[in-house]
A and B are shown apart, each in its own frame.
Chain A
Amino acid sequence: MNSPNSFRNQPDDRGHFGEFGGRYVAETLMPLVLDLEREYRKAQADPAFQAEFDDLLEHYVGRPSPLYFAPRLTEELGGAQVWFKRDELNHTGAHKINNCIGQILLAIRMGKKRIIAETGAGQHGVATATVCARFGLPCVIYMGAEDVKRQSPNVFRMKLLGAEVVPVTSGGATLKDAMNEGLRDWVANVHDTFYIIGTAAGPHPYPEMVRNFQSVIGKEARAQMLDRTGRLPDLLVAAIGGGSNALGLFHPFLDDPSVKMLGVEAAGHGLDGDEHAASLLGGSPGVLHGNRTYLLQDEDGQITEGHSISAGLDYPGIGPEHAWLKESGRVDYTAVTDEEALDAFQLLCATEGIIPALEPSHAIAAVKKVAPTMSKDSIILANLCGRGDKDIFAVAERLGVEL
């Protein structure tokens, strides 16, 4: 049991993380959201559900993912030891699959016949298409038309896996518009459709459920670190778009007071302008996509478009638990620019022989800043939440290289 002072006992029974979270959905969806919560609680209490989840993570996803000490990066930065949780080695190349396995098992348990999802960079779309192929369920992926253009290899992957990819042209034609379209589909197909949301956001119970499925990252890392070093890390670092990989890493450590945590938002071209995707550092609280959280918005509450070199961080909101962790002071948040992320991307390639995705490149950029300020016996653990194969075209373009 968690103590009353625990940081790990959120949300409350209405899905609120302090003043954040909740269930801000149309009445049509409300009974479904309540039904989903009931079914999720039953699944949580069912050892067979957990056993099937664990079995698939081990034999299909390839967990546990390694905990890796990065010697040359550590030497290069000249301060704290840098360790990585290697979730980029998962099947499909990112942490997204952990959550998709959990949600599709729940969908099957609930007798749903059709899966929908939204995707930005395409990683969640690929992971969803993957589990749908694995379990033989039809799959519709909503993707902003702009992202369809920017991420054509992932579009092709989803199609190979049997998914129907629907380009969304409304609004700014990016991730938030894809999520709107996912919600519109869901509301029109409530009887047979399960919506696999890709990050720890949306109406309750999604933020809690996605966090719990992703917490396998932190549970493994905590045990691995204790096993390898006999101690806990001093600092955890993870990139944040919606925030599921960061919560997955952070949550199992929240009640370890010696462990500091740093969430890294995308500062795009810089926080002083409008071209960023840092909802916590550059936004304000509001209501969107089923939850109250920090949003990028204007003075009238109109949502503004985020910008990041990383399509996976390019979302104008953030999971409500991060909003609460920020206000509670338990987790620190910072932001790094496109340029800094690109530099970190190249640094990891050169020092460790690992091509990271642009999302964790933001975390690596933050590590690059903070490691030199820490002593050599201290330990940083960063989440390497995705591999960079999908990003080589975007990076080549930014570096002025023609492929």
Chain B
Amino acid sequence: MSRFASAFGKSVPALVCFITAGDGDTAANLDALVEAGADVIELGMPFTDPMADGPAIQSANLRSLGAGTTTADVLRYATAFRARHPNVPLVLMGYANPMVRRGPEWFAEAAAAAGVDGVICVDIPPEEDDALGPALRAKGIAAIRLATPTTDAARLPQVLAGSEGFLYYVSVAGITGKQQAQIESIEANVARIKQSSDLPVAVGFGVRTPEQAAAIAKVADGVVVGSALVEICGEYGAEAPAKLKELTAALAHAVHTARQEQAA
């Protein structure tokens, strides 16, 4: 069974945690997330021009690049993570240019060797899948797609075709870390997607608190939290792991017990 299938196959929804690689002590930060209950890790590949991200993740990208993080460093973090956590799904998330710089085959090969399970590329829509998708699939890496409130019924099949691992539903039309969508809209859209696909659906963008996470966990297979964790990395530096653990534990508890409360 793939790591995604086991992470999303549990009896409770999955908590997906994002941090930017090279922003602080990446290994310690990742360990903190896993120890506190994260089910899936998204490791952000820093990019100079993160045009889909809000201020929190923009700053994390610049801090990481300012500290000299390279693609080789990101792959080293992934390799070391895989050695320490053999069962936790690891996703690289970022923008096209750093991923295709040495050719898509090079990147797919390197990511596979590092033990990466999936890749989310923000600026490669299905229309440009050729730029990276075939290379990833050839190496057994899931090309994880995003669906958004603007992905209408006519377009959804195109997004789902070639999607693997899980589907990332972006709950708001906007950038990361900003406003949150109405739970009714999330519920309706997740239901719409699940009618057309067997993939687990994780919901992200604007999810900051355990309360928000719990509400989403009631209607989706997974909840993605990024900006709130990245802000901790920025604010606390070397002290970040303890703070990350605190928030992640609260989020994990909220996500993992959301449906029990619902049943009770």
Interface residues of A (CB under 8 A from B): 14, 22-32, 170-171, 176-177, 179-180, 183-184, 187-188, 190-191, 286-290, 292, 295, 297, 299-304
Contact A26 B146 (CB under 8 A): yes
- Tell me, yes or no, whether B235 is within 8 Å of chain A by CB: no
Hey, which chain A residues are within 8 Å of B175, CB to CB? Answer: 184, 187-188
Contact A170 B159 (CB under 8 A): no
Hey, which chain A residues are within 8 Å of B145, CB to CB? Answer: 27
7 interchain residue pairs of minimum CB distance: A301-B101, A188-B174, A301-B98, A287-B96, A301-B97, A180-B51, A28-B148
Which of A26, A31, A286 makes the CB contact (< 8 A) with B122?
Answer: A26
Hey, which chain A residues are within 8 Å of B65, CB to CB? Answer: 302
- Tell me, yes or no, whether B87 is within 8 Å of chain A by CB: no
- The smallest C-beta distance from B48 to any residue of chain A, in angstroms, reads 4
A117 to B27, CA, bound (A): 40
- The smallest C-beta distance from B146 to any residue of chain A, in angstroms, reads 4
Which of A25, A179, A292 makes the CB contact (< 8 A) with B125?
Answer: A25
- The smallest C-beta distance from A95 to any residue of chain B, in angstroms, reads 26
A366 to B24, CA, bound (A): 48
Given the interface contacts A190-B150, A300-B71, does A184 sit within 8 Å of B52 by beta carbon?
Answer: yes
Interface residues of B (CB under 8 A from A): 47-55, 58, 62, 65, 70-71, 95-101, 122-128, 131, 145-152, 155, 159, 170, 173-175, 178
Hey, which chain A residues are within 8 Å of B122, CB to CB? Answer: 26
- The smallest C-beta distance from B160 to any residue of chain A, in angstroms, reads 12
* Interchain Cβ contacts under 8 Å between A and B, 27 examples: A22-B127, A23-B125, A24-B96, A24-B124, A24-B131, A28-B149, A30-B125, A30-B127, A170-B55, A171-B48, A177-B49, A183-B52, A184-B51, A184-B175, A187-B52, A187-B173, A187-B174, A188-B178, A286-B100, A287-B100, A289-B51, A290-B123, A292-B131, A301-B101, A302-B48, A302-B65, A304-B48
Least CB separation from A28: chain B residue: B148
A174 to B238, CA, bound (A): 32
Least CB separation from B146: chain A residue: A27
Hey, which chain A residues are within 8 Å of B49, CB to CB? Answer: 171, 176-177, 180, 288-289, 303
- The smallest C-beta distance from B216 to any residue of chain A, in angstroms, reads 18
Which of B55, B62, B127, B151 makes the CB contact (< 8 A) with A23?
Answer: B127
A84 to B74, CA, bound (A): 52
A29 to B148, CA, bound (A): 9
